[in-house]
Structure 1
Amino acid sequence: MKILHINQSDSTGGAAVAAVRLLKALRGCSADAEMLVLEAAKDDPAIHPLVTNKWDRLVRNFKFAAEVFSFVPYEKSRQQRFAFSPGRFGYNISQHPQVKEADVLHLHWVNQGFLSLHDLNRLIQTGKPMVWTLHDTWAFTGGCHYPGTCGGFTSTCGNCPLLKSPGSNDLSARQHLRKERMYANVAITFVGCSDWMKQMAERSTLVKKDLRHLVKHIFNPVDTGLFKPADKQKVRAELGLPADKKLLLFGAANTTDPRKGIIHLLRALKQLNAKNPGLKDELELMAFGKNIETFSHELPYRMHPFHTVKGEERMARLYQAADLFVLPSMQDNLPNTVVESMSAGVPVVGFDIGGVPEMIKHQENGFLAAPGKWKDLAEGILFVLGKGTLPGENARIFAETHFAPEVVARQYLDIYQSIAGG
């Protein structure tokens, strides 16, 4: 049985990281699994790119720009331009050799000029058994990647808060109707990376209207042999970090994305500094991701910047050097940062949102703060730092039993077997 994974990228974004890790996990279990992407950064014979030359790149850039600018007349805020995907431009991959040869098609993240709604429909119409891992909510909404407090996806969408002119027949409502027609009379197995995502999908009319649509929950995998505990002092020496400080770690692909909650982290750290002035000489912050320089001047503690981290080995070293990872996100599915941190034996303090409480067990392997309550976040940092090595040890145990590649791969192999046999 040949499984073809389909994702926009093999390197950019959390979905790409999770999809490639799953590909490796499946191949590690001797599964015949390959991946089709728009453009490949990795030199891997199992990953097949559509873009291979200069002309292809020009076409890709045009489709990406056309997709983005097609939404501009509808957008309410430029800052949320990428929070909604109209799905107008993309590639017809239904006749691609890899698609034709596959017994199961496994979709991941397909936006930003990779698959249009029309292209997606042509893929569905191949009739091949299909699995779709939900890295966000786009698959079952009228276009948003995270609905926030909007529950429109449980009916027909419309009156979308992300649109400049919301209404009962706005862009979200029209796209919702298109997806409803596409998904009708076909069987799709949706997989939520978190139970939170699974439950949202089950509430969506796009999923629950057809009893052939199944919804499962499987965590994302991580290489527990790479992201593992190490000698902190040795790692810190390699990275040029202080040996005698408590080091907090924070990071995201784009740290200024409002959903990532940097404002709450800043408030929490200022609260810590005001209430515990002695920490000034004990506590420092490590930070990675785009735009970290935009908030460095507001920090009450010294920051060690790592900007964009390239390579999983380097990323693993950052976790191994840290005492604690802080996740101030206000909306998230199953953050790879939490998965990676726990696998490295580093406890996590975060808000009780999305799929986070499915990983963080309060006061056992980390700390769950009330959503948006930055004072609770500050309290959690103090609590975990005061518990020594036990929270980190518990985090590692959880990762080994839930995120290990072979554990996740077996669950997906069971799905493939049930829908395609062979």
Structure 2
Amino acid sequence: MRVVHLNTYHTTGGAAVAAGRLNRALQKQGVESTLLVQEENRPEWMLPEAGVEALATSFLAKKMAFARFGAERLAFLPFEKDKAVRFQFSPAVTGVDLTYNSLIMQADVIHLHWVNFGFFSVEGLGSLMRLGKPVVWTMHDMWPFTGGCHHSGTCENYQRECGNCVPFLRNPGPNDLSHSVWQRKQKAYEMAHLVPVGCSDWLTHRARQSRLFQPFSVLSIPNAIDTNQFRPVDKAEARQALGLPTNKRLILFAAAKVSTAGKGFVYFQRALHQLHSQLENPREVELLIFGAGDKGLLHELPFQYHFLGPLSDMTRISQAYNAADMFVIPSLAENLPNTIMEAMTCGTPAVGFSVGGIPEMIQHRESGYLAQYKSAEDLSAGMQWLLQLPPNDYAAIAHAARQHVLTHYDEAVVAGQYASLYEQLLKSE
């Protein structure tokens, strides 16, 4: 069985991480699996990875890939409501044609992941659908079944056929850009042998409500993680490896870009100020932060902090999770965050808002803490609850966190589900 996975990026972003993990997990299961990306952007320290191919390998091809990204952004520029939504809506008007790509031609199953930002146009996706091969599409956000937005928020227009796109478009109307993108997708999906898959039950439920996916059976299969790579280690050793204090309680915040509005840093900041005012000895608590973004934001935090910058080495990322007493994720929109999975696998309880797929990951007061959406007060209460737990109770919470991951997200479990799906699709042809 030959499976080719398609994702825009190799290592950048949560979808890239998830696609890479699934590709490796399937290889371990004996599936001939290959990840095809637009451009391989692995860090210098990372050796070339078996089973990963890139389209843009020459200087000219890389420039063309960047040009497609630019063209995609320029196409949306006249329509965007403001700069804040610039990367939250993808009209998908430009991309590559992989109809005659050797990996695509040899594949038994085509497996789509996140394919925006100039990798595929809607019409390019339609060309893949018309090849007649089974297409599995792991959705890492809502874009596959909306008129262009990646997360619709409270808007439910995608359930019909989009239009009147108030959250993202400058001049919303019945026949606006979102409506035309929706119609292009409907045409591209005609006669497709497509199985959309939500990484979370939350996303699966939303996908099933879209008229675009009414002809298809939408499944729910979570992302995978290597629970041997991410595992509990001695906390003191992890801290020493990272040059962190061993006599403090450490609260971890991590994001690809700390300052991204959707990551909820402002709520984290408010919650920390409240926590600082309520602790008897706030000097016992310090912060651990990794990710890219404006370091100046951190100076306004009430606790001393340790900033590790952007991390790409999975060993150091695992050490950071193990070094922390808790992981806080105040995101305002999430599917099934890799960060929560990584923290919990290391036995580090998570505190996050009850939004998207997060309630499927954190069992309230059993493996972590679910805070009321956009409530800095409840986010602070969750952090305080974990800090004040007796050692035995904390150990039970930490154990439950890892056990949940082992049961639901371990790479062997998830790869087995996908392998079974592929076999069923091939048998039904």
TM tier, smaller = over 0.9
Q: Shift of the alpha carbon at 1:292?
A: 4.5
C-alpha contact (below 8 Å) 1:64/1:112 kept by paired residues: yes
Choose which of 187, 190, 193 in structure 2 pairs with 1:187: 193
Gaps of at least 5 residues in structure 1 are none
Q: Shift of the alpha carbon at 1:138?
A: 0.4
Distance 1:231 1:271 in 2: 30
1:37-48 alignment to 2 at 5 Å? 37-42=37-42, 43-48=48-53
Whether 1:243 aligns to 2:249 is no
Whether 1:32 aligns to 2:38 is no
C-alpha contact (below 8 Å) 1:384/1:391 kept by paired residues: no
TM-score, normalised to structure 1, is 0.97
C-alpha contact (below 8 Å) 1:361/1:367 kept by paired residues: yes
Change (3 A) 1:351 1:307: same
Choose which of 62, 84, 87 in structure 1 pairs with 2:89: 84
Choose which of 362, 366, 370 in structure 2 pairs with 1:360: 362
Q: Shift of the alpha carbon at 1:186?
A: 2.0
How many residues are paired up? 418
- Deviating above 4 A after TM superposition, structure 1's stretches of 4 or more consecutive aligned residues are none
Whether 1:264 aligns to 2:270 is no
Distance 2:381 2:294 in 1: 24
- Residue of structure 2 equivalent to 1:371: 373
Choose which of 241, 255, 278 in structure 2 pairs with 1:275: 278
Choose which of 214, 218, 230 in structure 2 pairs with 1:215: 218
Q: Shift of the alpha carbon at 1:187?
A: 2.6
Whether 1:390 aligns to 2:393 is no
Deviations 1:195-222 (A, max 9, x none): 00000000011001x1xx1111111111
Whether 1:204 aligns to 2:206 is no
Distance 1:143 1:45 in 2: 33
Distance 1:13 1:392 in 2: 26
1:9-20 alignment to 2 at 5 Å? 9-20=9-20
- Residue of structure 2 equivalent to 1:122: 127
Deviations 1:240-291 (A, max 9, x none): 1010111010011112221111111001001111222x34211111111111
Q: Shift of the alpha carbon at 1:385?
A: 2.1
- Residue of structure 2 equivalent to 1:288: 290
- Residue of structure 1 equivalent to 2:228: 225
- Residue of structure 2 equivalent to 1:154: 159
Change (3 A) 1:82 1:279: farther
Secondary structure of residue in 2 paired with 1:91: coil
- Residue of structure 2 equivalent to 1:311: 313
TM-score, normalised to structure 2, is 0.96
Gaps of at least 5 residues in structure 2 are 43-47
Distance 2:18 2:99 in 1: 24
1:31-180 alignment to 2 at 5 Å? 31-42=31-42, 43-160=48-165, 161-180=167-186
C-alpha contact (below 8 Å) 2:328/2:352 kept by paired residues: yes
Deviations 1:28-66 (A, max 9, x none): 111111111101134123111001111111111111111
Distance 1:169 1:289 in 2: 40
Letter in 2 for 1:89: T
Q: Shift of the alpha carbon at 1:80?
A: 1.5
Kindly, what percent of the aligned residue pairs are identical?
41
Q: Which moved more, 1:98-107 or 1:186-195?
A: 186-195
C-alpha contact (below 8 Å) 1:292/1:307 kept by paired residues: no
C-alpha contact (below 8 Å) 1:154/1:205 kept by paired residues: yes
Distance 1:289 1:149 in 2: 28
C-alpha contact (below 8 Å) 1:198/1:215 kept by paired residues: yes
Distance 1:145 1:118 in 2: 18
Distance 2:281 2:360 in 1: 31
1:341-360 alignment to 2 at 5 Å? 341-360=343-362
Distance 2:155 2:172 in 1: 13
Secondary structure of residue in 1 paired with 2:39: coil
Task: Give the root-mean-square deviation of aligned CA atoms.
Answer: 1.1
Distance 2:378 2:103 in 1: 50
Q: Shift of the alpha carbon at 1:384?
A: 1.7
Letter in 2 for 1:51: A
Secondary structure of residue in 1 paired with 2:370: strand
Q: Shift of the alpha carbon at 1:386?
A: 2.4
Distance 2:189 2:116 in 1: 17
Q: Shift of the alpha carbon at 1:117?
A: 1.1
Distance 2:240 2:143 in 1: 43
C-alpha contact (below 8 Å) 1:142/1:175 kept by paired residues: yes
Distance 1:364 1:386 in 2: 15
Whether 1:325 aligns to 2:327 is yes
Q: Shift of the alpha carbon at 1:118?
A: 1.4
- Residue of structure 2 equivalent to 1:421: 427
Deviations 1:288-315 (A, max 9, x none): 1111513112100011111110211111
Distance 2:136 2:15 in 1: 15
Distance 2:193 2:204 in 1: 16
